[in-house]
Structure 1
Amino acid sequence: MNGTTHPLVAAYLDDLARMLGDLEPGERAELGPADAIAQAAYADRAAPPGYQRGARVPLTSRPWVPVVVALLQGLSLLLVILVVGASVGWVEESSATPAGETSVTTYGGSSLAAALAGGLAALPLWIVMALLVGISVLWRPREKVAHLLVVPVAAVLFAAGPSLGWSLAGPAGMVVAAWTVLALVVAGGGWLLYRLTISARRRASAAG
C-alpha cells in the first residue's frame, strides 16, 4: 500500500487486518498479509476505487521507443550526409592565354548552405525524435541533450570541415577534411546512438 491509496481502500485493509488479528498465528501466516488477501479477493472482479494492482507502463517508456529514436537519428544523419555530399565540391576552369592554357580550381558550392539544407531536410524526423526523447523517462537529462545535439553537431562539422580543409590545402585538403568529418559523424555518432539506445532499453525492460 502506498501514499496514494484511496481512503476507502485504506479503511478496508485496516478492518481486514483487525479481523485477521483474531486468528491463530499459524493460520494468519498461511493467509499472508492483508494486502495480499485483498489482491486475491479482487483478482477476478473490479477492485475498489483507488486500489492499484500494478502501474501501467507509459507508451513512451516501452522497449520499442529507443529503437525508433535510433532509427530516426540514423535517417536524419543520412539525409544530412547525402545533401552535403551532393552540394559541395570544386570546379576547374580552363582558359587559353598567350602563354598557354591555364587551369583554375575554385571551391564549388557553400558547405554552410549545404549543411543548412541538410538540416532542413532532416528537420521533420528530428522533431519527431525530439518529442519522443523529451517526453520519455528512459533517458537522463544529459542523455536527452546528447540525443538532441547529434544532428546539429553533425551539420556544423560538415559546414566547417570542408571549408577549413580547402583554406588550408585546396582540393586535397577539402577531400581529407570531408572524409574526416564523415568518419567522425558515422563512427562517433553511431557509437553514441548505440550507447544511448542500450541504456534506454535496459531501463524500459526494468520498468516493464
Structure 2
Amino acid sequence: MSSSTTHPLVGSYLRDLELLLHGVEAGERAEVLAGVREHLDGTLAPGADDTAVLAALDELGSPQAIADEAYAGRPATPPASPPRPGAMSRAWVPVTVGVLLGLALLVTVLVIGSLGSYATSDGLSSDGTTVVDPEVQFTSPGPGGVVIGLLASWFFWVPATILTLASPLWTNRQKVTLCLLTPLALVALVALPTIGWQSSHTELGINLGAWTSLALVLLGGGVLVWRLCRAAARKTAP
C-alpha cells in the first residue's frame, strides 16, 4: 500500500508549503516539511481517499498558516541600503568641470588675442597727393595658433576631459560636446577673423570676425558649459 504522502493532494500541499518557506534556512525548512509529512502519515491510513486527505489537510491548516508560524519570531530583514554612489557621481564633479572649462576658454581667448594682429597704413596715390583706402596688414595665428592654444589650456582642458569621460552624469553626446568645446573655440577664434580679412581686406572685416568669435566662445561656450554642468549637478548624490 502506498504512503499517504504520495497522494496528489498531499504532494500539491507540500509543494506550496515549500515555496512559501523559501526565505527560511534550508535546515529549518526541511524540518518543517518533515514534520508535516510525519503528521499526515500518522493521521491518514495508507490508500486514504480524497475526502479523508482533504479533511486531514484542513485540520493541519493552510500552507500559508504553517509558513507564517515558521517565520514568526524571526528577526525582520533590514531593507538593503542603496549602493553608495561612485566618486564620479558626486556634486564636486560638474562644478570642477565647469570651472576648468571656463578657465580653458579664457586662456584660449588670451593666447589667440596675443598671437593675432593687424596694422593699417595710410595709402597715397601714385602721384603722392591723393589719399586712398588705407592698407591693412593682418597676421593670423593660423594652425600654429590652435596648437599653441591647446598647449596653453592643457592643464585645464585635459583634467576636465578626463572627469567628463569618467563621470556617468552626462550622456555620450554631452560628453563629446564638452570635450570638443575648447578645440572648437580655438578654431573659431583663429578662423573667423581670418575669414573676415580675406573677404574684405578691411579693418572692419577683421574686427567683425574677432568680435563674433569672442561672442561665440565666451558667451555661447560659457552658457553651454553652465547649462550642461547645471543639468549634471541635479543628478549628483550629496
Question: TM-score, length-normalised on structure 2?
Answer: 0.64
State the structure with more CA Rg. 2
Q: Is the 8 A contact 2:193 2:207 kept in 1?
A: yes
Aligned to 2:115: 87
Asked if 1:131 is matched to 2:178, the reply is: no
Asked if 1:203 is matched to 2:235, the reply is: yes
Gaps of 5+ in 1: 1-11, 41-51
Asked if 1:21 is matched to 2:60, the reply is: no
Gaps of 5+ in 2: 1-21, 33-66
SS of aligned partner of 1:204: coil
Aligned to 1:66: 94
Aligned to 1:5: none
Task: Give me the identity figure in percent.
Answer: 30
Displaced runs of 4+ in structure 1, greater than 4 A?
16-20, 93-98
Aligned to 2:152: 121
C-alpha separation in 2, matches of 1:95 and 1:172: 17
Look up the equivalent residue of 1:54 and give its one-letter code.
P
Q: Is the 8 A contact 1:79 1:121 kept in 2?
A: yes
Aligned to 2:77: 38
Give CA-to-partner distance per residue, 1:48-103, whole Å, 9 cap, x none: xxxx6331111111011101000000000000000111111212457999843886
Cα deviation for residue 112 of structure 1 reads 3.4
C-alpha separation in 2, matches of 1:144 and 1:72: 15
Cα deviation for residue 106 of structure 1 reads 1.0
Aligned to 1:76: 104
Asked if 1:112 is matched to 2:143, the reply is: yes
SS of aligned partner of 2:81: coil
State the Cα RMSD in Å.
Answer: 3.3
Q: Structure 2 vs 1, CA of residues 152 and 14 (structure 1 numbering), >3 Å: closer, same or farther?
A: farther
Give CA-to-partner distance per residue, 1:99-137, whole Å, 9 cap, x none: 438864311243433233112211221111111011111
Q: Is the 8 A contact 1:87 1:111 kept in 2?
A: no
Look up the equivalent residue of 1:127 and give its one-letter code.
V
Greater alpha carbon shift after TM alignment, 69-78 vs 103-112: 103-112
C-alpha separation in 1, matches of 2:156 and 2:217: 18
Aligned residues: 177
